[in-house]
Amino acid sequence: MKTTRSMRWAGEMRGWRRSWLAILTSALAVSLPLSLAQITGVTRAAADIAPTNSVPQLIPKPVSMTVGQGNFTLASTANIVVPSGSSAAMPVAQDLAAYLRPATGYSLPVVTGSPASGDIELIVGDPGTLQGDPDGEGYQLNTTTTGVTLEAITPHGLYNGIQTIRQLLPAWITSSSVQPGPWTMPVVQITDFPRYTYRGLMLDIARHFEPPSAVEQLIDQAAAYKINTLHLHLSDDQGFRIVINGFPNLTTIGGQGSVGTGGRTMDPGGFWTQADYQAVVADATAHFMTVVPEVDSPGHNNAIIMSEYNDTTNTLLNGHPQDINCSANNPPMWDYTQDVGYSAMCPSSTNTWAIYTAIVDQLAALSPGPYYDIGGDEVPTTLLSQSQYASFVNQEAGIVQGQGKTVMGWADIAGSGTNLASPSVAEYWNPASGTATGTVTGTEAVQKGMKVVMAPASHAYLDQKYRHNVPSTLGLTWACGIKGCDVDKFYNWDPGSFVTGVTDANVIGVEGTIFGETTVTLSDVDYMVFPRLLALAEISWSPKATRTSTSSPAYTDFIGRLAAQGARLMANGVNFYPSTEVSWGLSLAAPDLTASSQDQVSGAVATLAAPGFASTAVTVTITWGDGTSGTGTATGTAATGTTLNSLYTVQGTHTYAKPGTYQATVTVSASGATSVTAHFTVTAP
């Protein structure tokens, strides 16, 4: 059976008023204590009169940010400094250096001692500003024209802070190849910490297999937005993806296929060795991300049933493993479609428990995080009665707790008869809100004292289409209907009041889920995940705001900041959907050039990020610094299907009349976007 899822100062001030106010504001900026300037959260202390500094386009939005005058410029001579005796900051200092070296090309040595002018200092200590921080994930970041100081109570806090440093730098800092810079950051003071402890991304490698390398890329992409949990859906009806010692069939048989797409009955499968899993966990840990393993039960496990149904010689089973099968089909059969709700394992079978005990014990041992997820979704009462279902959940919960882990599962596990309580976690996935019928799993969880992760499908399911038939080849429609779920749906809701009775007293966080029925490659996954994950990252990190309509100031502000993230994602090689809700910003990187011996420039002068724009939709003007100017062209690969357009190469041709050093500029404009200009020096020999 298939379950139904159903002003800035407004206008420009007159010149005289502006300069009069500028004098007053700069006087105030000097004399005002920081705390006063911070009262309104994000403020622009004197920034309106310092045209070099606009408000940094950060996601998630920090708790408090004061923008000052002037910039810090990261120079090739900079060090990343950790105070002597503060080894706790060292790994994160190394992370920062590793993030900044490729695009800057600087050596950025990580040293201990005292910072000199131009250095970035990382301190594990108490900056005294993080009282509201729930778990030591916050940080205090101060940049001046001469240095950067990042201080946090824990290394995790520092790690969150270095993600902010990256976003304060130009978009090209995310590039893996050397870019021209200059690497300036505005003078700011940021006090920041998360609203919620759990900020997750769930990836389904069961419906379509993904190799560890793809998952590691996704980890890096998500960590940049302070996501701290990777929930791995390791098994479902169509595939079982991790080796379990003692049950080789689980992967040799259970891992052989994936959901069929594009007219195929079955796509290729695959599985991870335990060493693969450990490497992914280690990579996640290095990104301060916790892995939550999930092997779904007692339903969504046709792959397990198909693997073990005939495993009569396995000494860990009793010779009659057919009794594990409580599915709609007996004997069971493969179904590589998107069907759900037809499989279940029988709670009364000792073989069921031999299999699940091995799975839980081994995955718990391989996973350092606090949670083990038992799944628990979508088992129709035609397969297991509610009491059979509850007895299954209770028995497996005992195994999980016996391994020292906290039970997590889809909120179905809060149903009648299960004896779960705090700190067990129910993940709320129903799209229903308020007091609608479907919200019962949320209120049941609260009645049991369970903690709740909010993932309402209509606002957090990254596998749903953006718009009607967009994209045409990826995504499902059950949660978002024909209209789809674009960025606004992901942003305009509040986790602490979505379900009546499920409040911030219960909610520990938010999770975006990318179920894998239609997504085959990492590129597919990225296209569905980005940019919507950024909305969830902000909802789960930033302070509560009024996010209830597409015209709310919070949404308008978010969309503006999101526009600036496009170039950042592109430079980082992240595929994403260029939502039409966003006026994506253009970004240019123009290195200095040396002309040919004939004083000629011909070919590439800049790289352009223009998300969602055809190369023919941009206009390029180049002033060559010798009193002449001309047009240029943008070349590259156009967007196709679910692949964003490439970064474009901006080309120009010019011959200088005589040798010299010329200060040139390249300007790109496109309809609906703010023009961008980059400066470069041409040496004509």
Least distance in Å: CB of 231 to ligand TNX?
A: 11
Nearer Cβ to ligand TNX (130/259): 259
- Minimum separation from the CB atom of position 437 to ligand TNX (A): 17
Cβ closest to ligand TNX, residue 62 vs residue 512: 512
What residues contact 596, with CB distance under 8 A and at least 6 apart? 602
Tokens at 467, concatenated = 């718009």
Amino acid at the residue 415: G
Residue in 358, 476, 614, 617 binding ligand TNX, rule: CB under 6 A: 476
Binding string, 293-332, against ligand TNX, x = CB under 6 A? ----------------------------------------
Does a cis peptide bond (omega within 30 degrees of 0) precede residue 60? Answer: yes
> Of 526, 518, 512, which Cα lies nearest the Cα of 475?
518
Is-contact 68 189, C-beta < 8 A? yes
Closest contact distance (angstroms) between CB of 237 and ligand TNX is: 8
> 106 vs 209, which CB is nearer to ligand TNX?
209
Q: Which is nearer to ligand TNX, 410 or 577 (CB)?
A: 410
Query: Does position 335 bind ligand TNX by CB under 6 A?
Result: no
Q: What span, in angstroms and rounded, lies between the C-alpha atoms of 252 and 274?
A: 14
Asked if 378 interacts with ligand TNX (CB under 6 A), we say yes
Phi, psi of 71 (to 5 degrees): -135, 155
Strands 451-454, 425-428: pairing kind: parallel
**Of 577, 636, 652, nearest to 612 (Cα)?**
577
The token pair at 320 is: 């009659």
Shortest distance in whole angstroms from residue 374 CB to ligand TNX: 12
* Residue 679 token pair: 């400066």
Closer CB to ligand TNX, 342 or 429, in the complex? 429
What is the closest distance, in whole angstroms, from the C-beta atom of residue 515 to ligand TNX in the complex?
3
Choice between 121 and 377, CB closer to ligand TNX: 377
Cα gap 515→527, rounded to integer Å: 13
Q: Minimum CB separation from ligand TNX for residue 375, in Å?
A: 8
Closest CB to ligand TNX among residues 476, 614: 476
549 burial via Cβ count (<10 Å: 0-12, 13-18, 19+): exposed
Q: Which CB atom, from 4 or from 131, has the smaller least distance to ligand TNX?
A: 4
Query: Which among 524, 556, 650, 607 has a CA at the least distance from the CA of 175?
Result: 607
Comparing CA positions, the residue from 473, 463, 477, 468 lying closest to residue 580 is: 468
How far apart are CB 202 and ligand TNX at their closest, in Å?
A: 9
Segment 336-375, which members bind ligand TNX (CB under 6 A)? Answer: 340
Q: How far is the CB of 661 from ligand TNX (least distance, A)?
A: 59
Q: Which of 428, 440, 359 is nearest to 400 (CA)?
A: 359
For the bound state, the minimum distance from the C-beta of residue 269 to ligand TNX, rounded and expressed in Å, comes to 16
Instruction: Give min distance, CB of 491 to ligand TNX, in A.
Output: 20
Vertex 12, ends 9 and 13: CA angle to 5°?
A: 85
User: Judged by CB, which is closer to ligand TNX: 248, or 260?
Assistant: 260
For ligand TNX, the closer of residues 410 and 613 by Cβ is 410
Q: Does 377 bind ligand TNX (CB under 6 A)?
A: yes
What per-residue string of b and e applies to 182-208 under the rule 16 or more CB within 10 Å gives b? ebbbbbbbbbbbbbbbbbbbbbbbbbb
Min CB(338)–ligand TNX separation in Å: 7
Question: How many positions of this chain bind ligand TNX (CB under 6 A)?
Answer: 11
State how far the alpha carbon of 558 is from the alpha carbons of 59, 471, 584, in Å: 8, 23, 12
Smallest separation, CB 340 to ligand TNX (Å): 5
- Give Cβ neighbours of residue 609 (< 8 Å, ≥ 6 apart): 171, 566, 567, 570, 571, 586, 587, 588, 647, 648
| Nearer Cβ to ligand TNX (411/487) | 411
CA distances from 364 to 258, 280, 303 (A): 25, 15, 21
In the bound state with ligand TNX, the residue whose beta carbon lies nearer, of 379 and 618, is: 379
Q: Which is nearer to ligand TNX, 46 or 425 (CB)?
A: 425
Peptide bond into 298 cis (omega under 30): yes
Under rule CB under 6 A, which residues in 428-467 are in contact with ligand TNX? Answer: 429, 461, 463
Q: Are 527 and 576 in contact (CB under 8 A)?
A: yes
Q: How far is the CB of 431 from ligand TNX (least distance, A)?
A: 10
Sign of the dihedral through C-alpha 527, 528, 531, 534: negative
Subset of 95-114 contacting ligand TNX (CB under 6 A): none
User: Is residue 410 within the footprint of ligand TNX (CB under 6 A)?
Assistant: yes
At residue 600, φ and ψ (nearest 5 deg) are -110, 140
Q: Which two tokens stand for residue 135?
A: 């778990």
Q: Which residues pair with 325 in a beta bridge?
A: 345
Sign of CA dihedral 378, 384, 386, 387: negative
Least distance to ligand TNX, CB of residue 408, Å: 12
Residue 133 binds ligand TNX (CB under 6 A): no
Given the complex with ligand TNX, which of 5 and 195 has the nearer CB atom? 5
Q: Which helix (H) or strand (E) holds 17?
A: helix 15-31
Rounded Cα–Cα distance for residues 466 and 460 (Å): 12
- d(CA 55, CA 68) in angstroms, rounded, equals 10
Nearest CB to ligand TNX, comparing residues 470 and 617? 470
The alpha carbons of the chain give a radius of gyration, in whole angstroms, of 27
Smallest distance, ligand TNX to C-beta of residue 517, A: 6
Nearest residue (CB) to ligand TNX, 485 versus 590: 485
In angstroms, rounded to a whole number, what is the distance separating the alpha carbons of residues 570 and 565? Answer: 9
Closest CB 416 distance from ligand TNX, rounded Å: 18
For residues 5 and 405, which CB has a smaller minimum distance to ligand TNX in the complex? 5
Q: Could you say which residues in the range 178-197 bind ligand TNX, by CB under 6 A?
A: none
Positions of E strands within 61-106:
64-74, 80-82
Rounded Cα distance between 628 and 649, Å, is: 22
**Minimum distance from residue 513 beta carbon to ligand TNX (Å):** 7
Q: Report d(CA 528, CA 658) in Å as an integer.
A: 52
Among 293, 283, 221, 231, CA closest to 511: 231
List binders of ligand TNX among 502-561 (CB under 6 A): 515, 517
- Contact positions vs ligand TNX (CB under 6 A): 5, 340, 377-378, 410, 429, 461, 463, 476, 515, 517
